[in-house]
Amino acid sequence: MKKILNYIGGALVEPQNGIFFENIDPSRGIAYSLIPDSNQNDVDAAVNAAKMAFPSWSSTPAAARSAIMVRIADLIAKNAEALARAESIDNGKPLSLARVMDIPRAEDNIRFFGTAILHWSSEAHIMENSGINYTNRKPIGVVGCISPWNLPLYLFTWKIAPAIAAGNCVVAKPSEITPMSAFLFSELCIEAGLPAGVLNIVHGYGPSAGEAIITHAGVKAISFTGGTATGARIAAKAAPEFKKLSLELGGKNPNVIFADCDFEKMLRQTLRSSFTNQGQICLCGSRIIIERPIYEKFKEAFVEKVQNMKIGDPLDDETKTGAVVSEAHMNKILSYIELAKQEGGKILCGGERCYPGGELNNGYYIKPTVIEGLGPECRTNREEIFGPVVTIQVFDTEEEALQLANATEYGLAASLWTSDLNRAHRFASKIESGIVWVNTWLMRDLRTPFGGVKNSGVGREGGWEALRFFTEAQNVCIDFTP
Ligand code: NAD
């Protein structure tokens, strides 16, 4: 079986203990490659390599750093099909989705920050007739980047790109559930001529390899995307050493639909926001909140469309709905469907595992599920399920809609459907979430601040926010009085 290798000090290497574990293809439930079971020793080697590379990389002119990053982006484009296939096999997502979303976005991330750094400038504050301050934004040093399995290369590069563009050296860990595209990416970094040690990729489990990155005294800042419970643990571990932290965590996003919306557009987009990537996008809307006059119409049209969604082999060009990421995750989602029933929810469609036939019968598939009849107090409507499961709720007034939308500990994203401009602004400002989409979903501009409030995280990624996170601001004050 193919062995995934760590990328440390510019070389592809086995873990020091020589131990690997199996990587499962969730579409067929079979092991197809091996993942390094790295530990503290591998992380120590990676941090040392990063430390050694830092003086040279941080003083490399931005234009030279940019040129290397643009070469990496070009290589992602050149190898897009192979990367998309790898992502689909590793994650269970449709190849058709990886082709249009995951891999183009990974390329965009590297190109975006690799060129943004050419336009990066810092502020000056002039004190009338007395002096001037300017802000010197310096790279931090060695930083850690840890990413989840749902958008593997997309989120991995979203962190690494601003970190290295700003002149830091990185020790990164992709999810142990989907490590393949990060491994292929390390090969592209070597081909592009990224100097040894600028990026180091350590594969393995969270509690061993991941935690060794978090607690390493040489790692000065951590950018993490993953579950809220993991984020809390990381924050607790990092706090005593005052490490800079960016935490992008879970969500339980509302889609608020008013009767005056463009119904057909809303229906199309709500289908996307509910079930893209089998509902395994942190931005997916999992609580659909509908104004009473169109509730029945929406329910009928939506359920009909959901029932027609065909689950298939992720590698088949026609497939729009693939497998969920792992057996453990499938069982977690199924247990939430059972909970919804116990809480009194009515399953309008789906609600069970799916066996698409042949060798796919050993894969992890769940029928897209719509649940009705649960209020905001139910765990089904409060906890993140992170699968192809949505609930629908009805409201009568704008105030009630707002209460329902905000009735969760999370606050990542929200979608709002209305043709009333005043209401859109009014409502958007009151929703407790870091991102609000009005009459759309997942429309992304990489310059905008990205992140959540409440239990969805701390800090913002995207654009200048990310470059600010990966730099230390130093104020230099000069007195020019005689
Ligand atoms: P997870 O928290 O289990 O794992 C995420 C990463 O953290 C993995 O690489 C894992 O190995 C590592 N990890 C686990 N324990 C660790 C520890 N103790 N120390 C250091 N690292 C550790 O999350 P997941 O199941 O991979 O991803 C799904 C979650 O990610 C969902 O909650 C989803 O909402 C969230 N997510 C959030 C965003 C966002 O932008 N806010 C984006 C995508 C996914």
Q: Residue 470 has what pLDDT?
A: 98
- If we measure between CA atoms, which residue out of 226, 184, 187 comes closest to residue 207? 226
* Pair (420, 283) in one structural domain: yes
Are the C-beta atoms of 322 and 93 separated by less than 8 Å?
A: yes
Cβ-Cβ contacts under 8 Å for 25 (sequence gap 6 or more): 31, 32, 89, 90, 92, 363
- If we measure between CA atoms, which residue out of 451, 450, 449, 426 comes closest to residue 438? 426
* Pair (125, 140) in one structural domain: yes
Q: What mean pLDDT is predicted for residues 385-393?
A: 98
**CA 450 to ligand 1: nearest atom:** 40
* Mutation pick for ligand 1 pocket among 230, 245, 246, 389 (CB with most ligand atoms within 8 Å): 230
Structural element, H or E, at residue 248:
strand 244-248
Task: Using the mean position of ligand 1's atoms as its centre, give its distance from the Cα of residue 173 in Å.
Answer: 11
The answer to whether 282 is a known catalytic residue is yes
Which residue's CA lies nearest to atom 18 of ligand 1? 207
pLDDT tens-digit series, residues 256-299: 999 999 999 999 999 999 999 999 999 999 999 999 999 999 99
* Pair (380, 394) in one structural domain: yes
Task: Using the mean position of ligand 1's atoms as its centre, give its distance from the Cα of residue 281 in Å.
Answer: 12
In whole angstroms, give the CA distance from residue 171 to residue 342: 44
- If we measure between CA atoms, which residue out of 55, 68, 20, 47 comes closest to residue 183? 20
Q: Is 179 in the pocket of ligand 1 (CB under 6 A)?
A: no
Are the C-beta atoms of 181 and 187 separated by less than 8 Å?
A: no
Q: What mean pLDDT is predicted for residues 432-460?
A: 98
Task: Quickly state the pLDDT bin for 308 (edges 50, 70, 90).
Answer: very high
Which residue's CA lies nearest to atom 36 of ligand 1? 226
Domain for residue 74, yes or no?
yes
Backbone phi and psi for residue 457, each to the nearest 5 degrees, phi listed first: 140, 180
* Pair (51, 180) in one structural domain: yes
Q: What mean pLDDT is predicted for residues 21-42?
A: 98
Which residue's CA lies nearest to atom 40 of ligand 1? 248
Q: Which two tokens stand for residue 32?
A: 């197809």
Distance of CA 77 to CAs 103, 163, 375, Å? 8, 21, 46
Q: Residue 60 has what pLDDT?
A: 98
Residue of 282, 284, 354, 378 marked active site: 282
- If we measure between CA atoms, which residue out of 389, 116, 196, 186 comes closest to residue 278? 389
* Pair (9, 138) in one structural domain: yes
Residue of 176, 211, 248, 461 marked active site: 248
DSSP 310: P
**CA 229 to ligand 1: nearest atom:** 2
Q: Is 248 in the pocket of ligand 1 (CB under 6 A)?
A: yes
Task: Quickly state the pLDDT bin for 198 (edges 50, 70, 90).
Answer: very high
* Pair (382, 472) in one structural domain: no
Q: Is 225 in the pocket of ligand 1 (CB under 6 A)?
A: yes
Domain for residue 451, yes or no?
no
Domain for residue 450, yes or no?
no
Task: Using the mean position of ligand 1's atoms as its centre, give its distance from the Cα of residue 142 in Å.
Answer: 21
Backbone phi and psi for residue 357, each to the nearest 5 degrees, phi listed first: 110, 155
DSSP 206: I
Distance of CA 366 to CAs 107, 322, 327, 380, 392, Å? 30, 9, 11, 17, 19
Q: Residue 224 has what pLDDT?
A: 98
Q: What mean pLDDT is predicted for residues 313-342?
A: 98
- The structural domain count of the chain equals 2
Determine the length of the chain.
482
Q: Is 384 in the pocket of ligand 1 (CB under 6 A)?
A: yes
Domain for residue 482, yes or no?
no
Q: Which two tokens stand for residue 429?
A: 């400002």
* Mutation pick for ligand 1 pocket among 175, 219, 277, 389 (CB with most ligand atoms within 8 Å): 175
Residue 113 pairs in a beta bridge with none
* Pair (42, 170) in one structural domain: yes
Instruction: State pTM to two decimals.
Output: 0.98
State the Rg of the chain over Cα: 23
Q: Is 211 in the pocket of ligand 1 (CB under 6 A)?
A: yes
* Pair (306, 427) in one structural domain: yes
Q: Residue 163 has what pLDDT?
A: 99
Supply the range of the domain harboring residue 415: 253-445
* Mutation pick for ligand 1 pocket among 38, 39, 146, 203 (CB with most ligand atoms within 8 Å): 146
* Pair (94, 183) in one structural domain: yes
Give the rounded percent of residues in the chain with a pLDDT score beyond 90. Answer: 100
pLDDT tens-digit series, residues 123-153: 999 999 999 999 999 999 999 999 999 999 9
Q: Residue 432 has what pLDDT?
A: 98
Are the C-beta atoms of 286 and 280 separated by less than 8 Å?
A: no
In whole angstroms, give the CA distance from residue 255 to residue 446: 22
Q: Is 412 in the pocket of ligand 1 (CB under 6 A)?
A: yes
* Pair (381, 460) in one structural domain: no
Q: Residue 332 has what pLDDT?
A: 98
Domain for residue 315, yes or no?
yes
**CA 461 to ligand 1: nearest atom:** 40
Q: Residue 335 has what pLDDT?
A: 98
Task: Using the mean position of ligand 1's atoms as its centre, give its distance from the Cα of residue 363 in Å.
Answer: 22
Q: Residue 94 has what pLDDT?
A: 98
**CA 204 to ligand 1: nearest atom:** 11
Q: Is 457 in the pocket of ligand 1 (CB under 6 A)?
A: yes
Q: What mean pLDDT is predicted for residues 375-393?
A: 98
Distance of CA 21 to CAs 18, 324, 385, 468, Å? 10, 20, 27, 37
Q: Residue 31 has what pLDDT?
A: 98
Q: Residue 219 has what pLDDT?
A: 98
Task: Using the mean position of ligand 1's atoms as its centre, give its distance from the Cα of residue 451 in Å.
Answer: 14
Q: Residue 177 has what pLDDT?
A: 98
Q: Is 146 in the pocket of ligand 1 (CB under 6 A)?
A: yes
Domain for residue 332, yes or no?
yes
* Pair (289, 273) in one structural domain: yes
Task: Using the mean position of ligand 1's atoms as its centre, give its distance from the Cα of residue 96 in Å.
Answer: 24
Q: Residue 115 maps to which CATH number?
A: 3.40.605.10
Mean pLDDT across the chain: 98
Q: Residue 97 has what pLDDT?
A: 98
Q: Residue 376 has what pLDDT?
A: 98
Q: Residue 407 maps to which CATH number?
A: 3.40.309.10
In whole angstroms, give the CA distance from residue 348 to residue 341: 11
* Pair (419, 397) in one structural domain: yes
Domain for residue 464, yes or no?
yes
Domain for residue 338, yes or no?
yes
